[in-house]
Amino acid sequence: MPFKPLSGQVALVTGASHWQRNRLAAWRSRSRPPAKKEDVSKTLNLPTLWETAKEVTARRGQGIAVFCDHSDPDELKKLFKRIDKEQNGRLDILVNNAYAAVTLDGTKFYDMDPSIFEKVNNVGLKKHYICSVYGARLVIPRKRGLIVTVSSGGGLGYLFNTAYGVGKAACDRMAANMAHELTKSNVCFVSLWFGLVMTQLINHTLHNQYRAFFAPGETAEFAGKCVAALARDPEKTKKTGMILTSPWLVKKYGLVDVTGKIPTDPVMEAHEEYLKGVNEVRAPS
């Protein structure tokens, strides 16, 4: 299948700190789209947003670092206004990937204050919705574009905690419903599940049992390869509204991780038929 180049395209990757989001930005830079990376955290002495921007530029892209408090709707609105102004109204790729409360793994819902639901899903689900609204307003006039919401298998089975799973399930449904409302605009909106990804933040924060669980998984670099391949696909609108998984993308595009391995995820692969059924019901026909 011939792939269109991404040269000159504008991408916004939310939450682009130096873990999975950094890799998402960096891999798209290999096709040279100007990429704005929005950061909300400088915790754990991980490389900063500014270093991420430098890496994008070093990979022959144009990295533009934008510090933005993802929990503040006004800052998000200003971010998209800035893109509108600086890029002449152009946005080609939006990746909703900011998240908070990663360290709350394994805590029972009844052992936490009810406010934890807002903490988990404010920066995630709620702000993904807001970014999708503003992002859609930029991509619709051009009659093309890609919006990706990074979700996970936590929307299918139990993972981390109740609030996390509810939020991820809602992200999947949001992608499907928004895709229905974008069908006449030729804009592709998908929910993307990666396999187990041992990011730097996970390695720093999760309990030992979870670190061991993530160790055999995909590299964070592979996440960027997946989104870049999808963005290049001239037939990506046929996938709009769907839940796509990294194992499925491996088969579709022949992707290989930077380690030289072909990533697999037995859990997601075991549920391929279930996801196929969900996509048939939810996604635009």
| Nearest Cα residue to 95 out of 22, 165, 163 | 22
Cβ(42)–Cβ(73) below 8 Å? no
Cβ(23)–Cβ(198) below 8 Å? no
CA–CA separation, 38 vs 130, rounded Å? 14
List Cβ neighbours of 80 (8 Å cut-off, separation of 6 or more).
91, 131, 134, 135, 137, 138
List Cβ neighbours of 275 (8 Å cut-off, separation of 6 or more).
156, 243, 245, 268
Centroid of chain to Cα 228: 12
CA–CA separation, 136 vs 238, rounded Å? 18
Cβ(39)–Cβ(14) below 8 Å? no
CA–CA separation, 31 vs 92, rounded Å? 13
Q: Catalytic residue among 99, 110, 164, 253, which?
A: 164
Q: Tokens 């503040």 — which residue?
A: 72
Is position 164 annotated as part of the catalytic site?
A: yes
Quote the tokens at residue 7: 């040269």
> Catalytic residue positions?
164
